[in-house]
Amino acid sequence: MADSILKSVYDNQDEVPQQYADLFEERGGKFCFKRIEGLATQADVERLQRSVKAERDAHGVTKQSLQLVCGDQKPEEVRSILDQVPELQAKVSAGGNKLDDKKIEDLLHARLQQKVAPLERENAKLVAQLAERDAQLQSFAHEKAIRTIHDSVRTVVRGGPEGKGPKIVDSAEEDVLSLAERHFEIVDGRLQTKEGTPVPAGLDVPAWFQEISSKKPHWFGPTQGSGATGGKGFGGFANNPFTNESWNMTEQAKIVRTDPAKAEQMAKAAGTRVGGARPAPRGK
């Protein structure tokens, strides 16, 4: 196994080379190489391949259409001939006789159109290219913003930079990321919650997670999300005296005296407020 080529996906854990086991994680019933920031996934490659194929197919259809219209002539040669049609029609309608003022005006207009038409086509082409370029830039900016949101949120929900904070269960990660996409925006290079969401605007990722996690006990599984008070506890506070399970008004008063801001945070994480009523048990 050590001499074999390392794959990006294995059907089961036994196939993963032992020395690389830490580099793989289970996704969708298979063991896949862990996501690395900046490294394209197989899904990215497949999406690019589909885009290239669609572009080639469209080019083939356009080429066949031009072949039917132009034959062996270049498109610009055919277009030049078509631009002369109005002038030729005006001459034919004159029947070789002297042109009157109306026919002269029509002839001048036809000649002017002959000169202007190529410029208008070129301008339309440039406008279309600019619109396509703008759409691509917007798409790239959106994908970059989503990637930034995902990377920042994953760090927090997996226990923070040092891995010592509250962690969600693996099955909840997609739900968290989807919610974060709707709640966050990038303002002046800073990731923050936006207006019009269920949480206050302007929160960074850790503050957002603390705010929203009190309403999502299922993110933490049965141990952290259903009344556990050991370890970091629900909301990131050990033995939070504001929770139903650890309710202790004496401890609450101590925290209020020493650190009022922290007391407010702990109360909110528990689902109540300083001086408020005892909250309902988690999961009820």
Provide mean pLDDT across the span 190-196. Answer: 91
Query: So what's the pLDDT on residue 43?
Result: 61
pLDDT at 224 over 50: no
Sign of CA dihedral 122, 127, 130, 132: negative
pLDDT tens-place string over residues 58-68: 777 777 766 66
pLDDT tens-place string over residues 32-90: 877 666 566 666 677 778 887 888 887 777 777 666 666 666 767 667 766 766 666 66
Query: Could you tell me how far CA 222 lies from the centroid of its own chain?
Result: 31
Q: What is the dihedral of CA 132, 135, 137, 140, to 10 degrees?
A: -120
CA–CA dist 112, 70 (Å, integer): 24
Q: Could you write out the DSSP letters of every residue in 163-191?
A: T-S-B--GGGHHHHHHHHHHHEEEETTEE
Q: What angle do CA 163, 236, 182 make, to 5 degrees?
A: 85
pTM value surpassing 0.75: no
pLDDT at 125 over 80: yes
pLDDT tens-place string over residues 104-118: 788 788 888 888 888
